[in-house]
Amino acid sequence: MDLVNIPDLVNFFSRFGNEFAYLAVFSTLILCGFGLPIPEDISLVSGGVLAGLGYANEHVMFGVGMAGVLVGDGSVFLLGRVFGEKVLQIPFIAKFLTPERFSKVQEKFSQYGNWVVFMARFMPGLRMPIYLTAGTSDRISFFRFLFLDMFAAAISVPIWVYLGHYGAKNLDQLSSLVHQGQITIFALLGILVLGLILYFTIKKKRSGK
């Protein structure tokens, strides 16, 4: 994560004042879903920093962060669902999702199923193409997509917002905290994956009896 951008983003958000701090973060997260060249994680950490500096409440900011992430991702999915593969002809979409990349993402769906949507939340460069491709296919319903996305966001969003809140007064310390947060997210993800593998292994053995 490029932490250099956090102070700049915090300064930008703070210009809106206490009343519109939530709206600024919410809007930025939606645009991130459509490929705005600002890492979503930085936006969430910056929202937490705003709360730590007194511009917002950290718990409300967490809710705003979740809402912004889900609305942005859901909008990308619906864009694919409405336009189908014709979405590849939209200029700003074509920059992120070439026909070759679209085919590769489709292959991932064939290999791993709907859980690709869950894993995409932890792959910033592939997140938008995967969500858009999910929308163009008939492999997953909108509500199932939203559930998997919310499940994944519930792991990462609170970590970034509350780390930002905790380290708001010391950005040097926040750099170290963000690194620890990244390790924590991947550790939780690893535990979850191992748990799922164990669950399906046991289920398969029982069904084979």
- What is the C-alpha separation between 123 and 174, in angstroms, rounded? 22
Write the DSSP assignment of 21-90 as a string of letters. Answer: HHHHHHHHHHHHHTT-SS-HHHHHHHHHHHHHTTSS-HHHHHHHHHHHHHHHHHHHHHHHHHHGGGGGGS
- Do the Cβ atoms of 52 and 167 come closer than 8 Å? yes
Predicted pLDDT of residue 1: 45
Domain map (residue ranges) of the chain: 6-169, 172-208
The pLDDT tens digits along the chain (209 residues) read 444 467 667 777 777 667 788 998 999 999 888 877 788 888 898 899 889 888 889 999 999 999 999 999 999 999 989 988 888 788 877 777 777 878 877 777 777 777 888 888 887 777 888 898 888 887 889 999 999 999 999 988 998 999 888 888 776 677 666 666 777 777 777 787 777 677 667 766 776 65
| Alpha-carbon dihedral sign for residues 86, 91, 92, 97 | positive
Torsion sign over Cα 175, 48, 58, 192:
negative
Specify whether the backbone of 7 is left (phi greater than 0), alpha (psi in -120 to 50) or beta: alpha
Q: What pTM does this model have?
A: 0.80
Instruction: Provide CB contacts within 8 A for 82, sequence distance 6+.
Output: 135
Chain CA centroid to CA 125, Å: 11
